[in-house]
Structure 1
Amino acid sequence: MIGFVSASPSYGQAYYSPEDLYGSLFADVQNGYIFSDSKTFADCIPLFDPVYIIEQYHREKEREGFSLSDFVSAHFRVPEKIKSDFIPDRQESAEQHVKRLWPVLMRRPENQEQGGSLIPLPHCYVVPGGRFREIYYWDSYFTMLGLRESGRVDLIESMVNNFAFLINSFGFIPTANRTYYLSRSQPPFFSLMVQLYSEMEGKKVLKTYLPQLKKEYDYWMDTGNSTAEPFTGYRRVVYLPDGAVLNRYWDDKATPRPEAYREDIELALEAQEQHGTSPDELYRHIRAAAESGWDFSSRWFGDESDFSTIKTTDIIPVDLNCLMYHLEKTLAEAYRLKDNPEMQQIFEDKANARCQAIQKYFWNEDRHFFMDYDFKKQANTDSISLAGSYPLFFKLASKPQSHYIRAYLRLNFLKSGGLLTTNVKSGQQWDAPNGWAPLQWIAYKGLRNYNFHRTANELSVEWLGLIEKEFKHSGKMLEKYNVSDTNLIAGGGEYEIQEGFGWTNGVYLRMKNRKR
């Protein structure tokens, strides 16, 4: 049975996730190792009406000599990684390379693929690169930092408008514009995008996007008919004592991810055999971690070395709640500009309450660092990660706290190529020895906010140096880097390292220019 997912008011069409649309055909292809990357079939474009394809499959699959691979080739167009005639010139600077690369990563509405799982967007946008052929939510903020440095205000406006379109269409911003992402979002950076755009176009921008900012807030703060009992959660909301309400990552589905279908099933079997975890519970934790953008990290594990102990929905993340604080502050400012003092005060109060809760639940006095909170155990998790630098970025740390954080980053995270994501070597990509552009920027800007310019400059020199070294060697800008051993390529993850790459390009340009 085909399950209805959502309908866009703008296009008036229903959107179906491919596993719902194709049923057993989808499962058979993914479990049959037809493609090495599960995302490939999720992105395939049907050459015929899907109903016809399904009928043909059930008619032909029992025939002698039937080849599933041949059937797929005959009925679908397989998407390619992003390619072009663009040839990197290692004689030019990385800065020049990135500015020439923007058109390669840009997609126009008229050039978007038709059919398949892609949700068409009305304006131009920039994709990350490689296997990522769609616009990704939190990636785009960091990409925009570089677009601003390149003078591409037009593209920033288009991308903000695309995200506003998605909010109007679905009530939130999905991970990316694919139907199989319509059950989850990503870290809520829309308010930062709007603020960035307002820095170029004036504060009127906040009033323009106020309806979409409020809709996104309502999505993250949906409480349904929950009872508000302390230490309980409903969707993305968690209730704590003293009336505190914080947020966690979630997904409205508890099934294998279409883009990692086979991998999720295999992990669910392992979790069930070793820990008695039900598949539904495991899938929910995996999907919630995917919503976080940190897919995957020991940060979400009960046992830092065992992926099958993932427990994301038990965890209240410090970075997410800092982002929600910014959204509340942005809404307060937008309502002030709208001459609505009552709503302004409501959101000022919400932001102040969240600020107090961030101090209460995330600051660990023993470790002197901001750490995630496990509301099931009613204690901080054991994971220390770069997420703990978000309070510096949003100026939520006290001056004494900032000194502890700066010292911890410098002594435990800063390596010859930049900052580690965590100190744990789990084999997951959001762990040691890898470093990621968005987290380098969050920490760098956070250090600047508290006048730790020497440490920020040290970080900048190491990170920019690593990017330039790799570019000179390969002519590529990469999704992630090995910051511990700059002679080695980063590893881990469910796919090969990707080149392009949107957020690396953006952070590189912004950090390079701020350094001067």
Structure 2
Amino acid sequence: MRHQKNHTFSHLTFLFLLLLPFTFVIQPLRAQQMYRPERDLGELFVQVQMQRVFPDSKTFPDAVPQAAPQQILEKYRQQKDQPGFNLEAFVLEHFTMPPQPASGFTTDTSLSVTQHIERLWPILTREPGADGGSLIPLPKPYIVPGGRFREIYYWDSFFTMLGLQANHETQLIQHMVDNFTHLINTTGHIPNGNRTYYLSRSQPPFYALMLRILAQQKGHEVLKTYAPALRREYAFWMDGAETVTADAPSHRRVVRLPDGSILNRYWDDQPEPRPESYLEDVELAEQSGRKHEEVYRNIRAAAESGWDFSSRWFADQENLSTIHTTDIIPVDLNALLYHVERTLADMASLEGNKEEANKYEKLAKNRRKALLKYTWSDDAGFFYDYDFVAGKTTDIPTLAAVFPLYFCMAKKKQAAAVAQKLQQDFLKPGGLVTTLNRSGQQWDSPNGWAPLQWMGVQALRNYKHDQLADEVAQRWVEKNEDIFHNTGKLMEKYNVQDMNLQAGGGEYPNQDGFGWTNGVLLKLISLHPELLDMSLQELEKQAQ
């Protein structure tokens, strides 16, 4: 809050300040009182998940109870030991299964991929208050990724917004920004998604980048409107920064390095199986030979990263059971928080608060210095995550290395070295591969993902590596268009190494829809019309 020179307060202002702390305490409690299937259904929830009543573990947490959860639980306890009791039949009787979105949508492959995406926006749009159950209601319409992902997702939404911007859908961008602002103001942060079982974690902090998109559409002054919300999100990520010490260097998402620098990691406050992947997490913990809570915490922290899962989090680079996410300071997370600090400085300047602007500029400067010190490898010419427990970089090459270039944190020589490694090792026929390791996880080779293509292309452009950026964009767009014309679908991820195979790996089948794929594809084509797919060019010729 700005320091005011005038200390004369009205009675109304005094009352507001008196009640302000209670506002911030009460609001998050409302979200905690919502339906939490893993908590409210007790042993019924455990049995449904452990007996794999549904092939996808996310189905039951998304189902809507037809009566009070406690009443359903009591009926279950009364009936479960009776002869002929059928658990699946019981669940289907007492719960409404989640809807299958877009079941009536038919793809017309004679259309261009851009026309297809424009037809998809209404299909992927959800209205406020729909669904119920574990869904956290939002005040404005929003876009979901598609497939099994029936709710809004945090970092997905930034890349979806890129496509909305290309289609001049400013009102929908505004709605989505307002929804995330609502989540910050009511839960204290932006959850992984608007489900109650996601409340204990966030995702990569892209809210400030969303505000930049809105400012591009509505003018720079709009940033002032959202300054309180961004400050609050920053406080969530930085909780504990003032209390960590050399003897106790970590607290939640904050880590103090040996030189006193503060950097961040991913975290989750609940060391329990994820409700949406309950059976998978229990089985992993049991076969890991480790403390179960330790496994659950690291699994959830990786889910907060958005890279769930990748060998970048594995101690042996092969097995999910060795996951140690909370030991790692991710290069991409800290680049994003650098941008948050820079945005907060801009907001303070717009508000005329020079002191606060200088504070955030200093924080950003210190973060950049620490990131370059701890995550850059001169020997490899690449940015790596930093294992603060081991006191060294992980030396696992991943596309997270492009984030310091995206935010112009890297020195020119560093950017040139990263570009060289991208061209030499990461560039594949379909775009940039996520990592160089084939672990069987979806955020590893041979898969490529839309958000990382966008970050990579723009990172390269920032340092004038335009030819390589063009090559990445062209290969990615062609891959998307080929799959669309062959299948009628735009996918969550793609196999960029073998052009004849679909992407795989992970806990669930490859999903179609798909929010961030649509967004990045539209944005790339809008910036580079020469990448426009042939079907639209043919239609335009016919129209002439």
SS of aligned partner of 2:499:
coil
**What SS does the corresponding residue of 1:242 show, helix, strand or coil?**
coil
1:359-508 matches, within 5 Å, as 359-508=372-521
In 2, distance between residues paired with 1:501 and 1:10? 33
In 2, Cα distance between equivalents of 1:227 and 1:344: 24
Q: How does 1:62-77 map to 2 (within 5 A)?
A: 62-77=81-96
Kindly tell me: are residues 159 and 305 of structure 1, through their superposed partners in 2, closer, same or farther at Cα, counting changes over 3 Å?
Answer: same
- Secondary structure of the corresponding residue to residue 334 of structure 1: helix
Q: Distance in 1 between matches of 2:400 and 2:241?
A: 29
Partner of 1:142, secondary structure, is helix
1:436/1:193 CA distance change after superposition, 3 Å: same
Contact 1:301 1:310 in 2 (8 A): yes
| 1:73 partner amino acid | L
Amino acid across the alignment from 2:120? L
Provide the aligned C-alpha RMSD in A: 1.4
1:232 paired with 2:245, answer no
Q: Secondary structure at the match of 2:344?
A: helix
CA distance in 2, matches of 1:440, 1:141: 14
Residue 57 of structure 2 aligns to which amino acid in structure 1?
S
> Compared with structure 1, are the counterparts of its residues 24 and 225 closer, same or farther at alpha carbon in structure 2 (3 Å cutoff)?
farther
Q: Partner of 1:51 in structure 2?
A: 70
The one of 188, 200, 206 equivalent to 1:189 is 206
1:362/1:373 contact within 8 Å kept: yes
CA shift in 2, pair 1:10/1:233, >3 Å: closer
Deviation at 1:241?
Answer: 2.1
SS in 2 for 1:148: helix
CA distance in structure 2 between the aligned counterparts of 1:11 and 1:398, rounded to whole angstroms:
46
Alpha-carbon separation, structure 1, partners of 2:29 and 2:38: 24
Contact 2:263 2:329 in 1 (8 A): yes
Unpaired runs of at least 5, structure 1: 1-5
Q: 2:49 aligns with which of 27, 30, 36?
A: 30
Matched, 1:246 2:263: yes
Deviations 1:189-219 (A, max 9, x none): 0000001100110111110000000000000
Whichever of the two has the greater Rg, that structure is 2
Question: Separation in 2 of the partners of 1:29 and 1:13?
Answer: 23
Q: How many residues align?
A: 505
Partner of 1:258: 275
- For the residues of structure 1 that align with 2:131 and 2:474, how far apart are their CA atoms? 40
Change (3 A) 1:225 1:148: closer
C-alpha distance in structure 1 between counterparts of 2:445 and 2:513, whole Å? 22
The structural deviation recorded for 1:9 is 6.6
Aligned twin of 1:86: 105
Among candidates 352, 355, 363, match of residue 350 of structure 1: 363
4+ runs deviating over 3 angstroms: 6-13, 224-227
Structure 2 residue aligned with 1:161, among 162, 178, 184? 178
Q: Please tell me the residue identity of whatever aligns with 2:451.
A: P
Q: Is the 8 A contact 1:230 1:241 kept in 2?
A: no
Q: Residues 231 and 241 of structure 1 are in contact (CA less than 8 Å); yes or no, is this contact kept in structure 2?
A: no
Question: What is the Cα deviation at residue 83 of structure 1?
Answer: 2.1
Matched, 1:208 2:225: yes
| 1:243 match: secondary structure | coil
AA aligned to 1:507 is V
> 2:175 & 2:164 partners in 1: Cα distance?
12
Return the match for 1:220 from 223, 229, 237: 237
> Deviation at 1:242?
2.3
Q: Which residue of the partner structure matches residue 324 of structure 2?
A: 311
Range with greater deviation from structure 2 (9-18 or 216-225): 9-18
5+ residue gaps, structure 2, are 1-24, 530-544
Q: How far does residue 512 in structure 1 lie from its aligned partner after superposition?
A: 1.1
Q: Secondary structure at the match of 1:15?
A: coil
Q: Percent identity?
A: 52
The answer on whether the counterparts of 1:84 and 1:104 sit within 8 Å (CA) in structure 2 is no
CA distance in 2, matches of 1:7, 1:495: 37
- CA deviations on 1:220-270 (whole Å, 9 max, x unpaired) are 000088442268211000001222000000000000000000000000011
CA distance in 1, matches of 2:475, 2:331: 26
One-letter code of the match for 1:221? M
Alignment partner of 1:279 out of 288, 292, 296: 292
Q: Relative to structure 1, is the Cα distance of residues 166 and 18 closer, same or farther in structure 2, using a 3 angstrom cutoff?
A: same
Counterpart residue type for residue 180 of structure 2: F
Corresponding residue to 2:125 among 96, 100, 106: 106
Tell me: CA distance 1:412–1:231, structure 2 relative to 1, closer, same or farther (3 Å).
Answer: farther
